[in-house]
Structure 1
Amino acid sequence: MTVTHFSTAELAYLQTRLTRGCRVITPGDEDYDEARRAWNLAVDQYPALIIQAQTPSDVVESIRFAGDQRLSVAATGTGHGVIRNADEALLLHTSRLAGVRIDPTAQTAWVGAGTKWETVLKAAQMAGLAPLLGSSPDVGVVGYTLGGGFGWLGRKYGLATDSVNYFEVVTANGEHLRASAAESADLFWGLRGGGGNFGVVTGLEIRLYPVTTVYGGNLYYPVESAGKAFALFRQWIADAPDELTAAFTLMNFPPFPEVPDVFRGRSFAILRGCYCGPVEQGEALLRPWREWQTPLVDDFKAMPFAEVARISNDPIDPIPALTSGAWLSHLDDEIIEGLVQHVVPHHGPPALLFSEIRHAGGAIAAVDPSTTAYSHREARYSLQMVAVVPTPESHANAGHHITQLRRALTPHLHGGVYLNFLEGEEARERTPQGFSAEAYARLQKLKARYDPHNMFGHSFAIPPA
């Protein structure tokens, strides 16, 4: 792949504008390959230039340099969530803009752009508070929040993006703004759900919640019981309290030596969830499941919210992955039949690692949909599909299975998508489905105001109006 090269004079001039310690990495440098790597190892990108910012002023100067050179800008804090490769772009690393300040009285946290949720979670729990992180604390705060952010406290406290008080963001003209309900309110609206389309976030302030102990975990059942387990799940969540966020999962564990014996090479139907009310009520809530059928594995229990990662056990180390998703309009038997047909292996190894249906609604749906760019709050059931794809052949095979599964579920699809569950070209192709028609049109007008030349076009596909 052809990569733009810069003269020694251009790079020297750029370095004078950056703070000491801010790294500028070019394709000829020894650490270029490491710096361009994403968390998803299926991503193979070749930036024209990589800058590892040390301060917000480095972000400002980097964006101004990109404007002078007519480069697009792709920002990354932790390497997650690549939508459009940073080929021929300026890849701006914000991982060194990390840090957390907790205000226990105000129940807020200021978070630097390069911070992972695990850092926020640890600091907040020491103050008896909890952030609205997702299933993995290893993910960066900013990218997750810009796309919405639906985690295990979602039905009780809403989306991560709903709990933002303000963003600190550098726009395409190199201006460092604060976007809140009172300042640059239009930008504040767009950043909450619109992704990284309008600038590079250098920090944000979020609200925290009084959660220290939850009742959470997994119940594993034989995959042959998936139909009956799904029917119970559908009935069980029909009148579930908002304190419960739950999911139904079909999981195929790989036959790797590091996988525990009880799971290795086997498939399961799994109930997983998190109840943030009194523990004894959580125990009572699980009683119908334990009375229906004794699980093969039962690890539901009271736990410190600091250990919430144990519910999903998402991988931490980088892997080559393919992920997709959709909102479901309802749950019925045809859905579980389709999932079993396309997710559970019948002949040979499985194409997908898992599929998961997560129950939404509650506090997510209670927010006025006009207050944020995030859309489809009325949707109640989110479907995610994930595959590990170490080779081009496995990538193509998994993509085929996902397409076939989506086709089989077409009568049951809501029509919208949760964009945080999409990556790569699919995320760009389906961006309009991530928003209501009104929100998407408003986002395009906002794009025309803040980024008319699409400098930040490596996020969701929102062309300027």
Structure 2
Amino acid sequence: MTTQTPVAPDVLSTLRDHVATPVALPGEPGYERCTPWNVAAPVTPAAVVLATSPQDVAGTVRFAAEHGFKVTVQSTGHGAVGIGSDTILVQTSAMKHCDIDVANRTARVGAGARWQDVIDAAAPHGLAPLCGSAPGVGVVGFLTGGGIGPLVRTVGASSDHVRAFDVVTGEGTLLRATPEENADLFWGLRGGKATLGIVTEVEFEMPHIPEFYGGAVFFDGADAEAVLHAWSDWSVGLPETVNTSVAVLQLPPLPGVPEPLAGRMTVAVRYTAVGDLAEAERLLAPMRAVATPVLDTVGVLPYAAIGAVHADPVDPMPTNEAQALLSALPAEAVDALLAVAGPGSGSPQVIVELRLLGGALAREPRHRSAFCHREAAFALTVIGAPIPEIAAAVVEHATAVTAAMTPWATGGQFPNFAPSYDPGRAARVYTDDTRHWLAALAQRYDPAGVLAVGQVVPRPDR
């Protein structure tokens, strides 16, 4: 997080002359809107602009360039990192329009739209907005980070289905980016997060998937060794119509947590499959037979219920994430993970998940993008709740979990996971070549570095 000597409030108050929307300074009504979904991130900007139009975003960027501020953007704040008094935050949650073109199977949505908004509008027509595991996440932030969803092996990265962006550059210019128009921006916005600009609208394709076979099968934590070893063997031969992950869970006894899962260690096998639903049921049978489930939610579901597969929390909470991408998952890797995160390990983590990758994700899309590490075979994600009493232990242990997988790790990470200000993070998220081109494009479209804050690729001169 960066800070600077506070600018006089009368200078910041003139920001209101540059935008046609409310601006809140610290202590004023509306400033609390900067609080992100991940409440552990210290977000204390110089001002909050409650944007309602692309012009509000462009005006804010031009003001910031003139007065020496940086600008960052937030819709939901699921991937927030800390920002301080040198930064103006553009809050886009009011820009949530969502237009569905049923005939062409496309959607055009504003920067504030959440995936649930698009699902509600598109799923009744049999169309599948390619969201992540949590439909409450913002559309734009998810797509600019590539997008790893519950059907990723079947459909690839969600950003592969983007057709166009409207984006405000670091010079305060509104541009359209498509494969034919500003193609370099189109390449970099799919995977580069906000490095090249603030997206105000996105258009994307949606496949026709009215229903799927999926949900989760939960086992007692005592069966973790049998379940994880079986899952690692079983997952290898699955067709790309099938997607799965396995997670060691320690869910607190809170409202909304099913009684069989609350306050104990359990193991969840998450599963989604499309196509022949009877075949999908047959393919899952070996995992169902590994041990006696404590809860089984798998069945034929409408696409509108895609969020039920992972059942991610909805309410804001503090989170700490770590991630490692793996090239393989032999029995030795499973044993190493169980030793640090399984029964008897003393793990404080809420979720330790292994997700099967490959399939359509591993293939280059029709239009190349800045999203990297498609070759990874598995993704390990560690999520904890750093409440004050255990915050340090949660962070330290998450590092220990990923370190235990070092022999099988690729060294990479995906953009939407484990957000942090770690200066080495960009080198893990992007290949050297991709990082070089993103930095060069940032210099072209944001020469003053107005957007050089948060989850962006650093420039050589900064």
Fold similarity call, TM over 0.5: yes
Give the distance between the partners of 1:397 and 1:139, measured in 2 at CA: 27
TM-score, length of structure 2 as denominator length: 0.94
Structure 2 counterpart of 1:44: 42
Structure 1 counterpart of 2:270: 272
Give the distance between the partners of 1:63 and 1:121, measured in 2 at CA: 31
TM-score, length of structure 1 as denominator length: 0.94
Question: 3-state SS of the aligned residue for 2:227?
Answer: helix
Give the distance between the partners of 1:62 and 1:43, measured in 2 at CA: 23
Indicate whether 1:362 and 2:359 are aligned. Answer: yes
Alignment of 1:42-441 (within 5 A): 42-256=40-254, 259-344=257-342, 346=344, 350-367=347-364, 371-391=368-388, 393-426=389-422, 428-441=423-436
Structure 2 counterpart of 1:448: 443
Give the distance between the partners of 1:172 and 1:215, measured in 2 at CA: 44
Shift in CA distance, 452/2, structure 1 to aligned 2, threshold 3 Å: closer
Shift in CA distance, 395/87, structure 1 to aligned 2, threshold 3 Å: farther
Question: 3-state SS of the aligned residue for 1:189?
Answer: helix
Give the distance between the partners of 2:5 and 2:382, measured in 1 at CA: 34
Structure 2 runs not aligned, ≥5 long: none
Structure 1 runs not aligned, ≥5 long: none
Give the distance between the partners of 2:343 and 2:449, measured in 1 at CA: 43
Give the CA deviation at 1:7. 4.7
Question: 3-state SS of the aligned residue for 1:168?
Answer: strand
Question: 3-state SS of the aligned residue for 1:303?
Answer: strand
Over the residues paired in the alignment, what is the CA RMSD in angstroms? Answer: 1.9
Q: Is the 8 A contact 1:226 1:336 kept in 2?
A: no
Q: Which moved more, 1:222-231 or 1:177-186?
A: 222-231
Give the distance between the partners of 1:384 and 1:360, measured in 2 at CA: 13
Structure 2 counterpart of 1:29: 28
Q: Which moved more, 1:143-152 or 1:270-279?
A: 270-279
Indicate whether 1:460 and 2:455 are aligned. Answer: yes
Give the CA deviation at 1:413. 0.6
Q: Is the 8 A contact 2:195 2:438 kept in 1?
A: no
Shift in CA distance, 31/241, structure 1 to aligned 2, threshold 3 Å: same
Q: Is the 8 A contact 1:345 1:351 kept in 2?
A: no
Give the CA deviation at 1:150. 0.5
Give the distance between the partners of 1:369 and 1:126, measured in 2 at CA: 28
Question: 3-state SS of the aligned residue for 1:267?
Answer: strand
Question: 3-state SS of the aligned residue for 1:137?
Answer: coil
Shift in CA distance, 365/257, structure 1 to aligned 2, threshold 3 Å: closer
Give the distance between the partners of 1:290 and 1:390, measured in 2 at CA: 35
Shift in CA distance, 345/30, structure 1 to aligned 2, threshold 3 Å: farther
**Identity value in percent:** 33
Give the CA deviation at 1:28. 3.4
